[in-house]
Chain A
Amino acid sequence: MEKLGGIFNPSSPEMEALAGLTYYTMATTLGILLLIVAAMIYIIIAYRKKPDDNQEPYQNFGNLNLEIVWTLIPCAIVAVLFILTCNTMKVVDPPVGDHEPDIIIIGHQWWWEIRYPKSGVITANELHIPAGKYMLARIESVDVIHDFWVPELGRKIDAIPGHTNHMWIVAGEPGLYIGACAEFCGTQHANMHIRVIAKTEEEFKEWETKELVIPPTPRSGLAGEGAKLFQEKACMNCHTILGTAAAARVGPNLTHLNNRQTIGAGVLTNTPENLKKWLTNPQRYKQGSLMPNMKLSPAEVDAIVAYLEALK
């Protein structure tokens, strides 16, 4: 049997607190629902009109004491829930203080830009973190409102243009946690996945070092041809590749595309075959994506894929 995801697999202290509060509240309120259902079942059985009974029942207009009691009971339930709410908020949303963000998460239509201001790493659609360490993220948007949500790790938070938000991200154990944009943000809202990859401290350091390498630009062969095409075919108008003239921030930084798991914020697994399909017509896999069909010939596609694969 496959494991249930989301709230059923809380993987951070924050999410454990959130799941705990949710379970507690749901259990209490479900209890209330069950009491009401039980009362209704009793009423339906006990107070159904008998076919031959034409006498009107006793006309009861109300009872003040009863009204007071059943006003006070929900007041008490609300008071308890409110106290639990305050406590959980403290766990989930610890104060930021004067802490500088470790990560900047920027929502774009329809992908995530991830920047590590302390090391200078820039990537997309994948958030690498050292497991067990609280990382402060600053959440922004360059276009419309998005919402960062990794169901197994914690709360949702909006990415709003003109308004920055902060949240602490932590994963208890190394592993892959898949999330998505939760605020409707346009045509491809459904395909704006985020993959949080939690690693050990050493693996994280290693990954960071690799991401900081500026790969040499291939000068010859198919890859060299691809490098030239990348400059000529308008790819550079939107994308960045470190060490080249391509420095635009409209689309994802492609310097280390090689190291990523997916293409198009989760629509395809990142393999050379899929990359070819994607470059041939991105609109087929992500209709409405801001990456147009560049009408590349198969030879051109092969060259560009060879180039992107050669960047190490």
Chain B
Amino acid sequence: MSSRIPLVPENTEPLPSLKGNQGMLAWVSSVDHKQIGLMYLIITGVFFVIGGLEALLMRIQLAQPEMDFISPEVYNQLFTMHGTTMIFFVVMPFLIGIGVYLVPLMIGARDMAFPRLNALSFWLVVFGGILIYYSFLTQSGAPDMGWFSYAPLSEKPFSLNKGPTYWALGLLATGIGSIASGLNNIVTILTLRTAGMTMRRIPLFVWMILVTSFLIIFVFPIIASAFAMMLLDRLLDATFFTPAHGGSAILWQHFFWGFGHPEVYILILPAFGIISEVIPVFSRKPIFGYEFVAGSTVAIGLLSVGVWGHHMFAVGLGDVANLYFSLASMLIAIPTGVKVLNWIATMWGGKIIFATPMLFATAFIIEFVMGGITGVAIASAPIDWVVTDSYFIVAHFHYVLYGGSMFAIFAGIYYWFPKFTGRMMSETLGKWHFWLTVIGFNMTFFIQHFLGVMGMPRRIYTYQDFPYWGSMNLLSTIGAVVLALSVLVFMWNIHVSLRRGKKAGDNPWNAWTLEWAAASPPAVHNFDLVPPVRGRRPLWDLAHPEQPDEPNAKVVD
């Protein structure tokens, strides 16, 4: 070491140990995929708490009819920031971050293909988030036009505040980071697989990240251009989206949902990947129908770019467009259903261990199907005319994004925490967290389906005392408090487990993918020796030489 003076300090100890750590600069300057991955997880944790508090404030305001807890201006900022935060600064960067950590390990690589680009992607997300949150400090406050920022409400003269400008700039920065991470993942997965790790053998999580990454590089340029046009409108008096000056309000919706619907799959496909890793390991069986789970993901990815119009059924696009978008959206149910059935078939005949990751994965299936079936229903344009822009939709997408993505994220955290830190999370606290989440989540959102079809529009800061609205909203608010409590238990679990958790060892769950062959936490260089890959489950093959997954596999060096 004496002959080489590193430009910036580098960690020599496995992370997240602080021993031998060279301070903050070692983190800030890091290009190591594990360190960047952890930073993604930490920053999304912070944003998750902020976004959650925003939601809690809203639920308190809605606990009873005509409450005076917060003003309409503040309420509108809260729901805009809650949606923006949870989508762009929690679920998406979490899934990208956990991918950045795991993908190189799962395919037996040393790092991502472009480590510096990886760091850039991460820091752009952070800066984008700071930029958007900085708007709270401006005189007119945060953006308040809703997370899909419909024109012309988001334009002059209807939004003369600075919020929407910060919003577009911040998301533009974050979006550039996302495009870079998409490219990085694609190149990494296509070129850095270890010997024997063919595309038919990569873990399903890696497949999901691959499809997600293609979606990202296809659709983020759409929204980036739309943000640029919106900024031109707002700052330089262009008129792309202002009908009063010849622009088109509907054009924005086409751009936004052209991005926004695939974005939904960007938020759920990696979650499917987590579930596809957790369920086999805890059922002690290989995934049922690997090719169908991977293939249906590709089908979902392709279909997802052709269904954006189902967000616009109330716009009046005409019968032909409405029917096309209805049918195309319904078709997505087919590959999605195939996945769910394959997960169930994986559990069928297994010897299931209900540790916390598996509890969340099992509940995921039911909560996600609940969000899925309402999704099939609202793909039908006439049903959408009834429920769109009402609390039914709020319930639907929370079942998909909380019951789906967040449940999978929790499953993933409990599953890989031992790999990340070398310590197990507490099972007792994990079970408390799980049950509080299930109760709180369903209590908050199930009732909202009914509020929606009874006529409660979304995004209202107050409501009149229509029959039952008060008691139903109160129930939802109590559920939100329980949900907040569950998050506290989760944070406490992380806190104590980091310090006093049981030592994990390399492979505490007897899992089969390559990341479990590395040390926990992995050494800076990941693997001393990558195990031979002669099937989809290299560690199964090592443990069961008498019963390998692919008995006739060629040995590749």
Interface residues of A (CB under 8 A from B): 2-8, 17-19, 21-22, 25-26, 29-30, 32-33, 36-37, 39-40, 43-44, 47-50, 53, 55-63, 66-67, 70-71, 74-75, 77-78, 81-82, 84-86, 88-89, 92-93, 109, 143-145, 147, 149, 151-152, 154-158, 160-163, 165-166, 178-191, 193, 266, 287-288
- In the complex, what residue of chain B is closest to A193 when comparing beta carbons? B464
By a CB distance below 8 angstroms, the chain B residues around A84 are 380
Q: Decide if A30 touches B373 in the complex (CB within 8 Å).
A: yes
Checking A44, A78, A188 against B352 with a beta-carbon cut-off of 8 angstroms, the contacting residue is A44
Q: Decide if A155 touches B153 in the complex (CB within 8 Å).
A: no
- The CA of A147 and the CA of B457, in the complex, are separated in Å by 10
Q: Decide if B377 touches A29 in the complex (CB within 8 Å).
A: yes
- In the complex, what residue of chain A is closest to B331 when comparing beta carbons? A78
Q: Decide if A22 touches B316 in the complex (CB within 8 Å).
A: no
Q: Decide if B292 touches A81 in the complex (CB within 8 Å).
A: no
- The CA of A183 and the CA of B289, in the complex, are separated in Å by 43
Question: Are A187 and B380 also in contact (CB < 8 A) when A160-B249, A182-B388 are?
Answer: no
B345-378 interface bits toward A, Cβ cutoff 8 Å, 1 = contact, 0 = none: 1011111111000000010011001100110110
Q: Decide if B380 touches A81 in the complex (CB within 8 Å).
A: yes
By a CB distance below 8 angstroms, the chain A residues around B60 are none
Q: Decide if A2 touches B467 in the complex (CB within 8 Å).
A: yes
User: How many chain B residues have a CB neighbour from A under 8 Å?
Assistant: 88
Q: Decide if B326 touches A85 in the complex (CB within 8 Å).
A: yes
Question: Are A86 and B376 also in contact (CB < 8 A) when A22-B383, A155-B386 are?
Answer: no
User: Is B222 close to A, CB under 8 A?
Assistant: no
- In the complex, what residue of chain A is closest to B536 when comparing beta carbons? A61
Chain B min CB distance to A30 (Å): 7
Within 8 A of A (CB), among B42-60: none
- The CA of A17 and the CA of B382, in the complex, are separated in Å by 9
By a CB distance below 8 angstroms, the chain A residues around B383 are 18, 21-22, 25, 85
- In the complex, what residue of chain B is closest to A26 when comparing beta carbons? B377
Question: Are A147 and B314 also in contact (CB < 8 A) when A60-B286, A70-B341, A78-B333 are?
Answer: yes
- The CA of A49 and the CA of B281, in the complex, are separated in Å by 12
By a CB distance below 8 angstroms, the chain B residues around A149 are 389-390, 455, 457
- The CA of A299 and the CA of B374, in the complex, are separated in Å by 56
By a CB distance below 8 angstroms, the chain B residues around A29 are 373-374, 376-377
Q: Of the 9-residue stretches B9-17, B20-28, B68-76, B439-447, which lies at the interface with chain A?
A: B68-76
By a CB distance below 8 angstroms, the chain A residues around B380 are 21, 25, 81-82, 84-85, 88
By a CB distance below 8 angstroms, the chain A residues around B389 are 147, 149, 156, 182-184
Question: Are A5 and B158 also in contact (CB < 8 A) when A33-B369, A53-B351, A158-B316 are?
Answer: no
Question: Are A71 and B373 also in contact (CB < 8 A) when A182-B389, A184-B146 are?
Answer: no
- The CA of A88 and the CA of B382, in the complex, are separated in Å by 7
Chain B min CB distance to A282 (Å): 14
